[in-house]
A and B are shown apart, each in its own frame.
Chain A
Amino acid sequence: QQQVKQSPQSLIVQKGGISIINCAYENTAFDYFPWYQQFPGKGPALLIAIRPDVSEKKEGRFTISFNKSAKQFSLHIMDSQPGDSATYFCAAYSGAGSYQLTFGKGTKLSVIP
């Protein structure tokens, strides 16, 4: 049973556009939601994260929007650049006895000039 569903699987955005990636979760015990960026042949790098007590968090061009009632969260990349082309993973973590991150399947983002 997949606990974190991520969409779309792939995304093509023009340079300067907004990239939006969505995730939905089922387990209400999740209390920390990070996004990771992964380039080919590299490990995932922590990009930005949010806790459910806030509805939005912004760091530079990256924003997480969080809807607790809908159990959904999304990553917005403003002014997308070719260097943003990577695979993005949403994840969820529960501090209640489980120490693992549960990952979505990833979104391959291509930003074209």
Chain B
Amino acid sequence: NAGVMQNPRHLVRRRGQEARLRCSPMKGHSHVYWYRQLPEEGLKFMVYLQKENIIDESGMPKERFSAEFPKEGPSILRIQQVVRGDSAAYFCASSPPGTGAHEQYFGPGTRLTVT
């Protein structure tokens, strides 16, 4: 029973390039969450998605960041025109449908480095 899968695990981008981070939730889970972790910090919520819908994007920066969870395929977190401050670990979590939104299981993360 595979857990939450994220790829790539490490991503290096130069300033101004685009970063695409992918997340496949646990089998049977239909809710996906993205969090960002800066060094020596806790995780900060970015966005919550269900299939084809963004439910809560209150933690997402207004510019350059977007997220989707299409009907088929993984959830994608897209960062356009990356800057050095975007360097962080990005974690995806998933939870089961119904009332299980509080039980969030995390993937291994994508560590983004912007040079």
Q: List B contacts of A105 (CB < 8 A).
A: 40-42
Which of A13-21, A67-75, A77-85, A95-103 lies at the interface?
Answer: A95-103
Main secondary structure of the interface of A (DSSP, over half): strand
Identify the interface centre among A41, A44, A45: most chain B CB within 10 Å of its CB. A44
Nearest-CB distance from A44 to chain B (Å)?
5
Which of A41, A43, A49 contacts B4, CB < 8 Å? A43
- List the B side residues contacting A32 at CB < 8 Å: 102
Say how far A99's CB is from chain B's closest CB, in angstroms.
5
Please encode chain A, from 40 to 63, with 1 for each CB lying within 8 Å of some chain B CB and 0 for all others. 011111100100000000000000
Our pick among A43, A89, A100, A106 for the contact of B56 (Cβ within 8 Å) is: A100
On whether the beta carbons of B42 and A103 are closer than 8 Å, the reply is: yes
Check: B101 CB closer than 8 A to any chain A CB. Answer: yes
Cβ–Cβ contact B48 & A99, under 8 A: yes
**Residues of chain B within 8 A of A41, CB atoms compared:** 108
CB distance A43 to B55 under 8 Å? no
**Please, how many residues of chain B have a CB less than 8 angstroms from a CB on the other chain?**
28
Most buried by B among A36, A45, A95, A103: A103
Q: Is the CB of A44 within 8 A of B91?
A: yes
Could you tell me if B108 and A42 are in contact, using CB atoms closer than 8 angstroms?
A: yes
On chain B, the residues within 8 Å of A6 by CB distance are 42
Q: With A and B bound together, what is the CA distance between A74 and B100 in angstroms? A: 23
Q: How far is it, in angstroms, between the C-alpha of A49 and the C-alpha of B103 when the chains are bound? A: 9
Determine whether the beta carbon of B43 is less than 8 Å from that of A44: yes
Complex contact B41–A106 (CB within 8 A):
yes
Tell me which residues across on chain A come within 8 A of B6, comparing CB atoms.
43
B109: chain A residues at CB < 8 Å are: 42-43
| Chain A proximity of B107: nearest CB distance (Å) | 5
Complex: chain A residue closest to B106, CB-CB: A43
Interface of B with A (CB < 8 Å)? 4, 6, 31, 33, 35, 40-45, 48, 55-56, 58-59, 91, 93, 99, 101-109
Which residues of A does B touch, CB under 8 Å? 4, 6, 32, 34, 36, 41-46, 49, 89, 93, 95, 98-106
